[in-house]
Amino acid sequence: MQNGVRVYNGKRCASTTRYTDSNKGACGCGQQNSQFPWNHDHYVVAASQNLFDVSGGGKTWCGGSCGKCVKLTPTGGYIDGQGTAPQKKEPITFMITNLCPPWAPNESWCAAKGTPGGDVTPNHYGYEVHFDLENGAKQADKNGWDNPEVTWEFAPCTGSNTPSPSSWHNCECSH
């Protein structure tokens, strides 16, 4: 713990869960209300409110982190009763295309407050941010990820199965 937030090898940690959604998400990555195929079967995440909209304004549409990528690296840890140790610990880069809202049923995971890396009130489990991994094509499951604890950092949008910047430019919030 560092300033009340979980860290691993000096890096900030985050909690993770998995979800499946057929909507375009809070970054507008789809047509009408359906997802683009890559927003369903590639490495994309819904970020907790405090990371989705780092301005602190509470935006639920087109947050400032839409289209940015984060490298998530499992630490080997997990929350008892909420997941298991990851089978693979290699980092994966995900694009933020959705919001994990801080209300029911997500309060314990997604209700961290404050600026990540700064003054923050962590979520129920002690993490400064949370990532809900899109699992529509079982992409998290295929990596043996059952809600692992991860370190996180912003990263270029590169990597196998990570949406490209050109994919992002098709989203409503990229304009």
Go through the domains of the chain in sequence order and give each one's CATH number. Answer: 7-160 (2.40.40.10)
**Pairing mode, if any, of strands 148-155 and 11-19?**
antiparallel
| Full pLDDT tens readout for the chain, 175 residues | 777 789 999 999 999 999 999 999 999 999 998 999 999 999 999 999 999 998 878 899 999 999 999 999 999 999 999 999 999 999 999 999 999 999 999 999 999 999 998 889 999 999 999 999 999 999 999 999 999 999 999 999 999 999 999 999 999 999 8
The pair of structure tokens assigned to 33 is: 């209300």
Q: How far is CA 90 from CA 49, 63, 144, 169, in A?
A: 26, 28, 11, 28
Please pick, among 41, 80, 119, 132, the residue that the annotation labels catalytic. 132
Residues 6 or more apart whose CB falls under 8 angstroms from that of 31 comprise 24
Query: Where do we find the tokens 């980092």?
Result: 91
Please pick, among 21, 41, 53, 80, the residue that the annotation labels catalytic. 21
Residue from 36, 57, 65 nearest 131 by CA: 65
Predicted TM-score of the model (pTM): 0.96
Residue 132 falls in the annotated catalytic set: yes
